[in-house]
Structure 1
Amino acid sequence: MTLRQREVSTLILLALLGGGLLVAVQQLAAPRIEQQHQAAAERRLLDLLPAGSYDNHPLNQPIALPVGGLLGNPTAEHAYQARLNGQLSAVLLPVTARGYVGPIKLLVAISADGRLLSSKVLQQQETPGLGDKLERQRSPWLQGFDGKSLSDDAASWTLRSEAGEVDQIAGATVTSRAAADALQRALRFFDQQRDYLLKAQQP
């Protein structure tokens, strides 16, 4: 074998070793990367729950939900249980409203006794500066429904423009009405499907 051939052979061997090492590193890192993706997804979805209110990994045990119906979701979605010391602290439900511009997807946290704990917008296309004030970082409007339940007076769910007690987002009456209705529908779905949502995923 000539010097040139030996050099080429050495380069090929090094390339093969480098490729193999890269594959091995990727395989070793894959579980950690997946864990990081899972943690990021949990933070994005579960930041509407108070810190320390759950100690499980809700996304690991999704509960299948029907398309359409009270929740109005156009595609298959999942509910999730948040638990603390084995006890249910919240059920998270996605619900879709029909906004002024397009669909508004909300995530709603409901306590075991059927109270609305909190809610957040996952997706929306509403008018910038008006309907997009549903976003928690833009306005506290949505938080005004925290703590409400189906047993509350109807006026506490109704906009002032419709003789109720809720101040609508200025310039976004349709968006405000759609969001309030979606929150109520989520509570009604929880009330109707309580046994399934609370017991289906218990350990």
Structure 2
Amino acid sequence: MKRSAALLLAIALCGAALLATLQHFAAPRIEQQRQAAAERALLDLLPAGSYDNRPLQHPIALPAGGLLGNARAELGYLASLNGQPSAVLLPVTGKGYEGPIRLLVAITPDGQLLASKVLQQQETPGLADLLAPNRAAWLHGFAGKTLHDDTASWTLRADQGQVDQIAGATITSRAVTDALQRALRFFDAERQRLLEARP
């Protein structure tokens, strides 16, 4: 009986040691794959060939609150091509109908909105859900806009402007347009610091 218990204990210890060894050798690869997935998710805003660095390895510390409206300190990222800045990625938060709307925006060095996407939101599914595939096209409509564009080009049609709002989701639409403009204002105010955030 003691011999069987000792044998089972030895097998269990060998199994645990084997698992620990496998985990030790697999951990770097798992972490590398996790970082690659995170990078793909964040960098899909940037056109292919528009950067040749690893932007996630060049984080920019951003404060909580202020123009970006983030609840806590966040990180932005600098993309560069041939050693020159090509885009800055900034997280920005808007106040949606159901709660915060977290966006990631890519801005060119001359202050043009390159692209934007929703990272997190709680808007009504089927009505104002910004993560729905058909909402991405609405967000694409802001690409190319700058702070220097006339007010009407940033204002919803519901407010006598030129921007189509999401049907049945005017508050959500206003929150997003406001957040995008605030991100551009933050970039404009912090341009030098953001573009010089290189190692």
Amino acid at match of 1:186: A
Corresponding residue to 2:112 among 108, 112, 115: 115
Aligned pair in 2 of structure 1 residues 136, 116: CA closer, same or farther (>3 Å)? farther
The equivalent of 2:62 in structure 1 is 65
Amino acid at match of 1:110: I
Which has the greater radius of gyration? 1
> Given the alignment of the two structures, is residue 80 of structure 1 paired with residue 74 of structure 2, yes or no?
no
Moved more, 7-16 or 42-51: 7-16
Q: Percent of counterpart pairs with the same letter?
A: 68
Unpaired runs of 5+ residues, structure 2, are none
Q: TM-score, normalised by structure 1?
A: 0.90
Amino acid at match of 1:95: V
> Given the alignment of the two structures, is residue 49 of structure 1 paired with residue 46 of structure 2, yes or no?
yes
Deviation at 1:8, TM superposition (A): 5.8
Q: TM-score, normalised by structure 2?
A: 0.92
Superposition pairs of residues 109-188 of structure 1, within 5 angstroms:
109-132=106-129, 134-135=130-131, 137-139=133-135, 140-188=137-185
Q: CA offsets, 1:70-100, max 9 Å, x none?
A: 0111111111111223222210000000011
Alpha-carbon contact 1:120-1:136 (below 8 Å) kept = no
How many Å separate the matches in 2 of 1:149 and 1:189? Answer: 12
How many Å separate the matches in 2 of 1:160 and 1:143? Answer: 17
Q: What is the aligned-residue RMSD (CA, Å)?
A: 1.7
Alpha-carbon contact 1:136-1:142 (below 8 Å) kept = no
How many Å separate the matches in 1 of 2:9 and 2:126? Answer: 60
Aligned pair in 2 of structure 1 residues 9, 84: CA closer, same or farther (>3 Å)? same
Q: CA offsets, 1:132-164, max 9 Å, x none?
A: 1x3362221111110000111111101112121
SS in 1 for 2:93: strand
SS in 2 for 1:131: coil
Moved more, 104-113 or 36-45: 36-45
Alpha-carbon contact 1:116-1:145 (below 8 Å) kept = yes
SS in 1 for 2:80: strand
Amino acid at match of 2:134: R
Unpaired runs of 5+ residues, structure 1, are none
Aligned pair in 2 of structure 1 residues 141, 14: CA closer, same or farther (>3 Å)? same
Count of aligned pairs: 198
